[in-house]
Amino acid sequence: MTYRDGQRLSLEADGAPLRLSVNRRARRVSIRIDVRAGEAVLVAPSERRLADAIAFARTRTDWIRERLADRPAPVGLVPGQRLSVEGEDVTLAALPGAGAARLTDTPDGPVLAAGGEGAAWSRRILTFLKRRAREVLMARTEAHCITLGLPLPKVSINDPRSRWGSCTPGRGTIRYSWRVILAPPAVLDYLAAHEVAHLVHGDHSPRFWAVVAQLIGDPAPHRAWLRQHGAGLHALAV
């Protein structure tokens, strides 16, 4: 049977939903859980290796079912909800009118409020989070580039399903997920250091990790935080 990139299937009649994905930079077949889509993604370095990815998934069916069952339920943005923004608990609120979102300190803690209701209100909250993510990540990217004597790359913010950041050294570009603004500042700083280090070494060799350590010290705690809490960041449905 011929398999193709993006194809969806299940290994059994009542099995977990699977999606095939080709990543030319992958060195081996692997499985990741797409929290937002509620499916397991089988990754292979080429379409020819997709059959190998499926064979590997057949040996991990119980693991796939457990991870899909354990994923956090999707959470939408609603007034009264509490979010962690840069490691600080923030309460979301709605205001009369159509004003843009703004963050203010109150006796009860920080409040992120925007005008409107429903989808319009959610868009204003999301716009604030994306803008803040860009500001913070741009600042940390610039700081790390200065440390290494590198020109500042072009930075963009998007919403990838599986990566917190990506770097294309040949083009001098770095992309970040806006969702990391929901992580503590040290994790944001690690992510910026990680992507800036890719401007020097495009792989994950010991030389690459040495550059990361030069910039922020031991990256292990920040990597562990993303592994532990990343599914929760992706569970925010916007």
Residue 235 has pLDDT above 90, yes or no: no
Q: What is the mean pLDDT of residues 113-121?
A: 93
Residue 187 has pLDDT above 70, yes or no: yes
Cβ(21)–Cβ(36) below 8 Å? no
pLDDT in tens, 57-116: 989 888 888 888 877 777 889 999 999 999 999 999 999 887 999 999 999 999 999 999
Neighbours of 2 (CB within 10 A): 8
CA–CA distance, 161 with 200 (Å, rounded to integer)? 25
Q: What is the mean pLDDT of residues 122-144?
A: 97
Of the candidates 95, 86, 91, the residue with the CA atom closest to the CA atom of residue 111? 91
**pTM for this entry:** 0.81
Residue 33 has pLDDT above 90, yes or no: no
Question: What residues contact residue 226 under an 8 Å CB cut-off, 6+ apart?
Answer: 164, 183, 187
Q: What's the confidence (pLDDT) of residue 14?
A: 60
Q: What's the confidence (pLDDT) of residue 81?
A: 94
pLDDT in tens, 8-31: 988 765 678 899 999 887 889 999
Q: What is the DSSP letter of 117?
A: -
The first and second tokens of residue 76, run together, are 């939408």
Our CA angle for 141, 206, 234, nearest 5°, is 50
Q: What's the confidence (pLDDT) of residue 139?
A: 98
The first and second tokens of residue 105, run together, are 């300190």
Maximum pairwise Cα distance, the chain? 63
Start-to-end Cα distance in the chain: 37
Average model confidence (pLDDT) for the chain? 92
Buried b (16+ CB within 10 A) or exposed e, 90-129: bbbbbbeeeeebeeeeeeeebebbbbbeeeebbebbbebb
Residue 170 has pLDDT above 70, yes or no: yes
